[in-house]
């Protein structure tokens, strides 16, 4: 497996610990691999339960399913799910900022793991108030962790031109999916079949294991991961603290008035977040583009990066409905039995990571094999392929959606096939996008650019959230067709302008 994922490692840089490797890659990749695996175990375990827990006990729940949830309708549950995911990725930007300017990536990851664990413990306590507190903590901790742990993966390699780099990110991506695969089988089964809150407690245990793994293995990481690249000056700390307290006071006064006057509804929280999730990415990219401290080459690369950002936003708008629109379809319209084995609907959330683990080594080997003969598709072509595939997956989804319109439960093979198509698209976009972000990031915004990459997910999820809040039926065949057509058109645009994008990328491929 090692030789299939990388070229001759002995000739490609020096591992941090002076000799040991992990599948031909620096030993520190194992530490980050395991930390991310356990963090994703906790994250995807909770995500597998989220929508079915929110609708449990309500009109949109499957008849005979476990009660004890929050009895919301599917539209509200989908909106909460989309906004929650948007918050996770939105907070990756300040997470990157903390890594760049306050704590450094390594310390930021350690602190964030503790915050995530506290969030899952809050979810394990019954009650709607504690549920939203826990959801907020998990989102905040995940945002702090995401950009910084990916930055530390980049620190393990000898610069953007290290030929192991894409392969390293693909292996790291397998760690994500190993945790994501196991989580629904363990946490989903316990939560959906035994007790919701016990499932959330298992998610907290997973994050605790990840934190222990990280603290034990930090000696294998690059010392650069402990460095604060551009530390805040004393006057800047005072300024940011003052601004934070002012905005906190404004929010407390505003929402206090809304609550006291009896006008508060869930939309008072959901709508501002979704709007911010669209406004902030545009504002951040514009600010970076206008930064006069960037060189002409860095400015040009940022212009090229915007193409990848927009395409990724459209991709994630569809892809992330795997935990809402497709999860609800699995719960109510898909047979929960294969070869006589019955299983809870949350198990469908393990299908995508299973496909990733099966195909990621193949793709890692394929890119290297094609590169040897100078035939590897460029990043722009890979992105175009991803857009065509994610659009095709929803065109296919229309078929079982129509078949089940009379209440008939369709074969699980439909969802398994749709997830396979989406996974191929994901492997063309997600690890490649992480890698190209680290390659194209201006030095001044090293960790923050990883946060910008995750803002593409925020933008996509916020579009979904706004549609749900507006009452749009995302599970309708018309809406599925519109989203699929949008993705295909976006892929065609990237393909058509690929030469222009490549020119903007400079020496990055």
Is pLDDT larger for residue 150 or for residue 275? Answer: 275
Cα angle 461, 92, 28; round to 5? 125
Average pLDDT over every residue of 242-265: 88
Asked whether residue 264 carries a pLDDT value surpassing 70, the answer given is yes
Asked whether residue 367 carries a pLDDT value surpassing 90, the answer given is no
Tens of pLDDT, residue by residue over 200-239, are 999 999 999 999 989 998 888 888 888 888 888 888 888 9
d(CA 29, CA 17): 11
Average pLDDT over every residue of 467-473: 87
| Sequential DSSP letters for 95-135 | HHHHHHHTS-HHHHHHHHHHHHHHHHHHHTS-SHHHHHHHH
The secondary structure element, H or E, covering residue 34 is helix 28-55
For residue 127, the SS3 value is coil
Average pLDDT over every residue of 113-122: 95
Asked whether residue 135 carries a pLDDT value surpassing 80, the answer given is yes
Asked whether residue 137 carries a pLDDT value surpassing 90, the answer given is yes
Asked whether residue 9 carries a pLDDT value surpassing 90, the answer given is no
Average pLDDT over every residue of 111-127: 94
Contact in structure between 291 and 474 (CB atoms under 8 Å): no
Alpha helices by DSSP H, 291-410: 296-319, 325-333, 351-372, 379-403
Helices 128-155 & 28-55, crossing angle to 10 degrees?
A: 160
* pLDDT band, residue 447 (cuts 50/70/90): low
Q: How far apart are the first and last CA of the chain?
A: 25
Contact in structure between 101 and 123 (CB atoms under 8 Å): no
Query: How many residues does this entry show for the chain?
Result: 509
Is pLDDT larger for residue 425 or for residue 7? Answer: 425
Q: Please report the pLDDT score of residue 161 as a whole number.
A: 66
Average pLDDT over every residue of 452-464: 90
Number of alpha helices (DSSP H) and beta strands (DSSP E) in the chain: 19, 4
Contact in structure between 347 and 184 (CB atoms under 8 Å): yes
Q: Please report the pLDDT score of residue 15 as a whole number.
A: 45
d(CA 227, CA 205): 29
Give the closest residue to 156 by CA, choosing from 113, 105, 202. 105
Break the chain into its structural domains and give their ranges: 20-217+231-505
Contact in structure between 277 and 459 (CB atoms under 8 Å): yes
Q: Please report the pLDDT score of residue 133 as a whole number.
A: 93
Give the closest residue to 384 by CA, choosing from 285, 489, 297, 290. 489
Asked whether residue 8 carries a pLDDT value surpassing 70, the answer given is no
- Full-model pTM: 0.84
Structure tokens at 161: 């031109």
Asked whether residue 413 carries a pLDDT value surpassing 90, the answer given is yes
Q: From residue 216, how far is each of 43, 67, 110, 313 by CA, in Å?
A: 21, 41, 11, 36
Contact in structure between 435 and 166 (CB atoms under 8 Å): yes
Per the listing, tokens 């991310």 go with 36
* Domain 20-217+231-505: CATH superfamily, name plus number: MFS general substrate transporter like domains (1.20.1250.20)
């Amino acid at each position: 497996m090692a030789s299939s994922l990388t070229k001759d490692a002995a000739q490609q840089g020096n591992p941090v610990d002076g000799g040991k490797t992990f599948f031909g890659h620096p030993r520190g990749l194992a530490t980050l691999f395991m930390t991310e695996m356990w963090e994703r175990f906790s994250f995807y375990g909770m995500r597998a339960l989220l929508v079915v827990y929110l609708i449990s006990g309500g009109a949109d729940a499957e008849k005979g399913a476990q009660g004890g949830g929050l009895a919301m309708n599917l539209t509200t549950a989908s909106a909460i799910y989309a906004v929650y995911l948007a918050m996770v990725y939105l907070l990756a930007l300040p997470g990157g900022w903390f890594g760049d300017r306050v704590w450094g990536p390594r310390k930021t990851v350690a602190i964030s793991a503790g915050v995530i664990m506290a969030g899952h413990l809050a979810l394990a306590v019954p009650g709607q108030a504690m549920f939203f507190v826990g959801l907020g903590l998990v989102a905040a901790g995940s945002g702090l962790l995401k950009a910084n742990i990916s930055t530390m993966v980049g620190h393990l390699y000898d610069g953007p031109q290290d030929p192991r780099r894409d392969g390293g990110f693909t292996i790291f991506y397998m760690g994500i999916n190993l945790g994501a695969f196991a989580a629904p089988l363990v946490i989903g089964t316990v939560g959906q079949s035994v007790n919701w809150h016990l499932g959330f407690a298992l998610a907290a245990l997973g994050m605790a294991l990840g934190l222990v793994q990280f603290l034990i293995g930090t000696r294998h990481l690059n010392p650069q991961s402990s460095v604060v690249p551009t530390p805040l000056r004393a006057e800047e700390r005072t300024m940011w603290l003052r601004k934070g307290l002012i905005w906190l006071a404004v929010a407390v006064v505003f929402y206090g008035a809304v609550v006291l006057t009896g006008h508060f509804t869930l939309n008072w929280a959901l709508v501002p977040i979704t709007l911010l999730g669209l406004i902030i990415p545009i504002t951040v990219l514009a600010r970076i583009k206008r930064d006069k401290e960037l060189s002409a080459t860095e400015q040009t690369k940022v212009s090229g990066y915007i193409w990848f950002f927009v395409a990724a936003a459209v991709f994630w708008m569809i892809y992330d409905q795997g935990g809402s629109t497709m999860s609800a379809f699995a719960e109510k319209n898909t047979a929960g039995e294969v070869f006589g084995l019955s299983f809870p609907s949350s198990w469908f959330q393990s299908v995508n990571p299973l496909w990733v683990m099966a195909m990621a080594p193949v793709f890692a080997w394929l890119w290297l094999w094609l590169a040897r003969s100078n035939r590897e598709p460029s990043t722009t072509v890979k992105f175009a392929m991803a857009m065509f595939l994610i659009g095709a997956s929803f065109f296919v989804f229309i078929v079982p959606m129509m078949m089940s319109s009379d209440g008939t439960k369709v074969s699980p093979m439909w969802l398994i096939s749709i997830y396979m198509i989406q996974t191929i698209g994901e492997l063309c976009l997600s690890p490649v996008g992480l890698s190209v972000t680290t390659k194209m990031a201006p030095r001044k915004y090293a960790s923050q650019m990883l946060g910008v990459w995750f803002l593409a997910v925020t933008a996509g999820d916020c579009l979904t959230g706004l549609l749900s809040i507006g009452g749009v039926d995302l599970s309708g065949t018309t809406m599925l067709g519109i989203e699929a057509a949008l993705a295909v058109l976006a892929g065609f645009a990237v393909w058509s302008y690929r030469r222009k994008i490549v020119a903007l990328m400079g020496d990055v491929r």
